[in-house]
Structure 1
Amino acid sequence: MREQLNTLYKELIHKNEVEGLAFLAEQFPNEIVFSTSFGLEDQAITHLILDNKLPISIFTLDTGRLFNETYSVWESTNERYNTFITPYYPETKRIEKYVETNGPLSFYRSVELRKECCHIRKVEPLTRALKGKKVWITGLRADQSNARKDLPILEWDDTYQLFKYNPLLHWTLADTQAFIKAHNIPYNVLHDKGFVSIGCAPCTRAIKEGEDFRAGRWWWESNSKKECGLHEHK
């Protein structure tokens, strides 16, 4: 695996985003997927994939607690690109048991309960979505948080046993916003209201001027390593 990772990395560092995506799609036909949460970065990557007709499937994790604005941009994206983004949902029985046992707002009470909710609504569905795949494309950017600043453009994910490609790793927020505007790409209108990182509605708020990028996620918790489990780096 290490040798293959190094070989792929050496190829990718000389390619732009579209070239990198096309290269990996060619190397791993039918084994490469992109996960979108319809944020700015994900919308940019969706455009790169669909506008260039790259053979990469796109899925999203519908936690059942998303903002209406997120569903609107999902619908607009399907219409704009004449596509159908595949949804993955939490297992009904697990959600029912969690809510019955802990209550519908229990994630506010402790980090453990919040992470359990995230695991049921996000991590387990992601595991199903990535099953049998070799490459997972993400919209991670280095300046989104301290936990992401040292990420490589291509890495091996031990948890899911596949390569993770971060094509926009070195883009800034301004770069991403400019790309969205230049290509008239549908985006979540909550971004215009101070929402930077958008997840589940009960766990996301707008950030104030000067606050960290991740301050609007799980704001009642400590600011250190606030992740839902999808992209945790230990």
Structure 2
Amino acid sequence: MKITYESWADPSPNFIVDDAYKGALDVLEWAFEMYEEELVYACSFGVEGVVLIDLISSVNPTAKIIFLDTGLHFQETYDLISSVKKMYPLLDIEMKNPEMTLEEQADKYGEKLWETRPDQCCHIRKVLPLQETLSDATAWISGLRREQSVTRQNTNFINKDENFRSVKVCPLIHWTWKDIWDYVEKHQLKYNLLHDQGYPSIGCQPCTLRGDMSTGSRSGRWANKEKTECGLHQRTQMNK
């Protein structure tokens, strides 16, 4: 029986936590065995994303990966996606667009909604598209790490996702920023060139600034605002 939102019971599988690499593979192998084609990876194509893609490809080379294409991403992000598609040709990588175009959003809410009502902008351009994607999936993979922020320190390998009424699988929770980059170097992975320019966490261009590259924190996301999450990893209540 699959563990779903409706039948949730904490599975507490015996993943190895003293070895970040092996632990992540154990989680992924368990998840794909549990959910098969009903498991999707929502990838932001930051450095954690390329690590997870490489790990996922070793477990399921035809896995489904989605990128929430808000229409506001850096060109470097789109360039990386093109490279990744060539490197892993069997992976099913989908560019998921919001129902509302940027022009329609501006007509309804005004120009630069990300400045005036950033939560609303994220809801339209990220949360709703993921909700639509997960309507056909039982579980999804995320690259959250506990080290990234205070709001993520209680993340577990397997989580009941109240926001999307789904199960969220997080294989990298025990990985450090150093673990991530050691893996990239060891496997010679391509990554978003913005990391070399001082961007530890990369989202939409208008809402992303340089941050602390020594820790990989999310300090550059929605800088100078109280907002710390886009809504994918917290309970949100918004209207279209």
TM-score (norm 2): 0.86
Deviation at 1:214, TM superposition (A): 1.9
Give me the whole-angstrom Cα distance separating, in 2, the residues matched to 1:55 and 1:70: 22
Residue in 1 that maps onto 2:197:
193
**Cα separation, partners in 2 of 1:229 and 1:29, compared to 1, 3 Å:** same
What corresponds to 2:231 in structure 1? 229
Unaligned runs of 5+ in 1: none
Q: Secondary structure at the match of 1:27?
A: helix
User: Separation in 2 of the partners of 1:75 and 1:210?
Assistant: 28
**Residues 87-146 of structure 1: per-residue CA shift (max 9 Å, x gap):** 1101136x433212443323223xxx1111111110110111111311111000001010
Aligned residues between the structures: 227
| 1:1-234 map, 5 Å | 5-6=9-10, 8-12=11-15, 16-54=23-61, 56-82=63-89, 83-92=91-100, 95-109=102-116, 113-207=117-211, 213-222=217-226, 226-232=228-234
Whole-angstrom CA distance in 2 between matches of 1:171 and 1:143: 8
In the TM superposition, residue 55 of structure 1 has moved relative to its aligned partner by: 5.0
Amino acid at match of 2:126: K
Runs of 4+ in 1 over 4 A off after TM superposition: 1-4, 208-212
How far apart in 1 are the matches of 2:136 and 2:9? 18
User: Counting helix residues as a fraction of each chain, which structure ranks higher?
Assistant: 1
SS in 1 for 2:36: coil
Cα displacement (A) at 1:209: 7.1
Contact 1:34 1:57 in 2 (8 A): yes
Is the 8 Å Cα contact of residues 25 and 55 (structure 1) preserved in structure 2? no
> How far apart in 1 are the matches of 2:9 and 2:16?
12
Instruction: Report deviation, 1:22.
Output: 1.7
Deviation of 1:204 (Å): 0.4
Aligned with 1:59: secondary structure?
strand
Percent pairwise identity: 34
Asked whether the 8 Å contact 1:22–1:54 carries over to 2, the reply is no
Residue type matched to 1:228 in 2? C
Which whole-Å CA distance do the structure 1 matches of 2:221 and 2:202 have between them? Answer: 8
CA contact (8 A) 2:64 2:92 kept: no
TM-score by length of 1: 0.88
* Counterpart Cα distance in 2 of 1:44 and 1:74: 13
